[in-house]
Amino acid sequence: ATSLKTAYQQDFLIGAALSASIINQADPQLVTLIARDFNSITPENCMKWGEIRNADGSWKWADADAFVAFGEQHNLHMVGHTLVWHSQIPTPYLKIKTVITSAKQPCRKKCRSTSPPLAGRYKGKLHAWDVVNEAVDDNLKMRESHWYKILGEDFIYQAFNLAHEVDPKAHLLYNDYNIERTGKREATIEMIKRLQKRGMPIHGLGIQGHMGIDTPPIAEVEKSIIEFAKLGLRVHFTELDIDVLPSVWELPVAEISTRFEYKPERDPYTKGLPQEMQDKLARRYEDLFKLFLKHADKIDRVTLWGVSDDASWLNDFPIRGRTNYPLLFDRQHEPKPAYFRVLDLK
């Protein structure tokens, strides 16, 4: 095959998250590459509430409109990201938490005042929406977001119903990280079952898929695909990337203050990725795509969280200023060995 999207056209969509700067700069080489390899796009940031609303409540649609125009121009499947999330929201929304902690009505109103205009503006143009993002916390309980504190789990039910009302044809997803691992997977399944029992309109489960070079094991990822499909939902990998740098998450809680500090030993590949790691990354991608192919009947889409390593958020998360190598294209926008492994599977 000559490109990822043609290689996998019988299996699932191949997507990429695009930043506003990729769209606005429109570097011809990068645009050609995107149109050649990918048939689905997700906005990396420009549809988040904090990006589309000014502090005074007015709207700024320019980047989101440009994203949709780009998708239409290149005939791409488009995913909206994201309608209700606890993060990247404008500050006035955070203030409501302290002002009206027990007042449900204003909170619903806030939800209604942003989600429907956002979903409605692109009705019929976006094919899917990440309706609710990251509602389950690392402690496996519901995340104590301001939405949850005020409305309880009902905020999810309301968000999906609202989205369905506004754009009845859109494919509606619940999206979260680490749900391809045991623990958060089971907690998420229980939550979805409770909501499905109430008749909530949901069509897909978005596994973000921010993975490590060794974890989770492929068998864990497989279990999640199978279990989520059993809920009657389509499975999407929505933000796939593979972190090759030393993880800080397993550091003892006592060292929490040093966890997110930059230290040279946490940034070992500033001069390039050694061959051995390059091969390991390629094998990891190959193993994952083999698994995706095995379950292609359950999977609608595999989206990478970015196009090339230079622009990946993992250079700055969870520690700022590192040199990471999580994607299929390198800093010069050339395909990496991992790209060819994925391509050659077909």
- Residue closer to ligand XIL, measured from CB, 134 or 330: 134
> 144: which residues sit within 8 A by CB, 6+ positions away?
137
Per DSSP, what are the bridge partners of residue 207? 176, 237
Q: Which of 239, 250, 286, 334 is catalytic?
A: 239
Catalytic residue among 134, 220, 265, 286: 134
CB of 213 to ligand XIL, least distance (A): 18
Tokens of 36: 């050649």
313 contributes a contact to ligand XIL by CB under 6 A: yes
Is 45 a binding residue for ligand XIL by CB under 6 A? The answer is yes
As a whole number of angstroms, the distance between CA 327 and CA 77 comes to 20
In whole angstroms, the minimum distance from the beta carbon of 45 to ligand XIL comes to 5
Q: Nearest distance from residue 239's CB to ligand XIL, in Å?
A: 6
Helix, strand, coil tally for the chain in percent (to 5): 45, 15, 40
Dist CA 57 CA 94 (whole Å): 13
Cβ atoms within 10 Å, residue 72: 11
* Contact call for residues 329 and 304 (beta carbons, < 8 A): no
* Residues 261-290, interacting with ligand XIL (CB under 6 A): none
Q: Which helix (H) or strand (E) holds 43?
A: strand 40-43
Q: Are 170 and 131 in contact (CB under 8 A)?
A: no
Identify which of residues 135 and 150 has a Cβ nearer to ligand XIL in the complex.
135
Residue 204 belongs to what H/E stretch? strand 204-207
Q: Give dist(CA 179, CA 189) in Å, integer.
A: 9
Give yes or no for a contact between 46 and 68, defined as CB atoms under 8 angstroms apart.
no
Let me know if 286 is a catalytic residue: no
Lay out the site mask for ligand XIL across 222-241 (x = CB under 6 A, - = otherwise). -----------------x--
- Which residue number, 11 or 309, has a Cβ lying nearer to ligand XIL? 309
Query: Looking at the DSSP assignment, which residues form a beta bridge with residue 173?
Result: 130, 204
| 208 touches ligand XIL by CB under 6 A | yes
Closest to ligand XIL by CB, 208 vs 278, is: 208
Q: Which residues contact 33 (CB under 8 A, 6 or more apart)?
A: 307, 329, 333
Q: How buried is residue 238: exposed, middle or buried, by Cβ count under 10 Å (0-12/13-18/19+)?
A: buried
Contact between 270 and 335 (Cβ < 8 Å): no
Q: Does 308 bind ligand XIL (CB under 6 A)?
A: no
Closest distance to ligand XIL from the beta carbon of 221 (Å): 17
Closest approach, Cβ 109 to ligand XIL, in A, equals 25
250 is annotated as an active-site residue: no
Q: What is the number of the residue whose Cβ is closest to ligand XIL?
A: 313
243 lies in the binding site for ligand XIL (CB under 6 A): no
- Choice from 39, 133, 188, 315 touching ligand XIL (CB under 6 A): 133
Residue 17: CB minimum distance to ligand XIL, A: 7
Pick the closest to residue 114 from 64, 175, 44, 149 (CA basis).
Answer: 64
Binding footprint of ligand XIL on the chain (CB under 6 A): 44-45, 133, 208, 239, 313
Q: Which residues are tagged catalytic?
A: 134, 239
